[in-house]
Chain A
Amino acid sequence: MMNRRGDSELLRSKNLVPLIAVLLFFAGTLYAVNSYRDHAAFWEDFYAKEIARQINLAEPGTMLELDVTRALLVAEGNGKAFTTLFSIDNEDNRVIVSLRSGGGRSYRFFNDVTVVSDNVQLLSGPSAAPLNHLRLRIV
């Protein structure tokens, strides 16, 4: 037989608040830990910084071509579309790398240039290193 009185006691608003707090906390923790799956957070950090370094040292008119095979392998494991992995925010001088759905890392470059990025070129699929290139044109 169901304990109706107990159920209503459990659902009283003063009990619900800590329950919701605990659920939110563990959901947030799981989300944060999930970002480290397949070392995605590390590789986002790495690629954002290394791309920023190449942009910082580049002269206007330069074409940068970067091997991003490792990033593609991580993104493939996370079911992320290859066309949305790398983006450049020229307003804020920011390189944004996202190798998983729902998040990523960004890093700012100090070179006062405009960067035009083409999509990642998959010449032979993500497992055919080192043929997966990201092209950046420095203007």
Chain B
Amino acid sequence: MRARCGSGDIMIFVVLGTLMGLTLVGVWIGIVAFFGEGYDFRMAESESLAYRLERCLHEHDAFVDGFVLETCGLDSEVLSEEHVIHLEREDGKTFDYGVYSYTESCYFNDAGRTLTYPQCAPLEGVFHGQSVQGIVGSAQVARVVD
């Protein structure tokens, strides 16, 4: 005879689920309080990327059609998921790559504290006779591997 799932069984799962959730929150708060949130590397990575791009822009023109990041020795696949590059030249031309919505979230006040937001480094200079301004950002986090 098959057992039927009554309201008592549902209550057990509700109570268990609540207890597990509370335990998880408690464990997470304890870990963060004791070890911290980890090593925040976003700004350091953004500055590295800005440095690489700046060196490249002296040699190559990123605002021409057909320009690819591989010209600068950068992997476009890696930079497409958790990074942003937004450059504006004085003649109005722009170069954008990566997650475009990051260009706005770069300026959130909480970006320094919340690891899901990017942190961005400025990039400006005169390249091939034209002034260029922009930002370069990263929101990459380390992945857990098995």
Contacts and interface: CB of A to CB of B under 8 A. Distances in A.
A29 B23 CA distance: 9
Interface residues of B, number: 37
Interface stretch (A42-50, A69-77, A117-125, A126-134): A42-50
Interface in B20-56: 20, 23-24, 27, 31, 34-36, 38-39, 41, 44-45, 48-49, 51-52
B13 A39 contact: no
B81 to A, nearest CB: 9
Contacts of B45: 49, 52-53, 56
B25 to A, nearest CB: 11
A42 B41 CA distance: 12
B145 interface: yes
Contacts of A41: 35, 38
Interface string A21-63: 1100100010011001001011011101100110011001000
B78 A93 contact: yes
Interface of B: 3, 5, 9, 12-13, 16, 20, 23-24, 27, 31, 34-36, 38-39, 41, 44-45, 48-49, 51-52, 70, 73-75, 77-79, 83, 140, 142-146
Given A36-B35, A57-B51, 16 more contacts: A18-B16, A21-B16, A36-B34, A52-B45, A53-B48, A56-B49, A102-B146, A104-B144, A106-B145, A108-B78, A108-B140, A109-B78, A110-B74, A110-B75, A111-B74, A112-B73
22 contacts: A14-B9, A18-B16, A22-B16, A32-B27, A36-B31, A36-B34, A42-B36, A49-B142, A53-B45, A56-B48, A56-B49, A60-B73, A98-B145, A105-B142, A105-B145, A106-B143, A106-B145, A107-B142, A107-B143, A108-B78, A108-B140, A109-B78
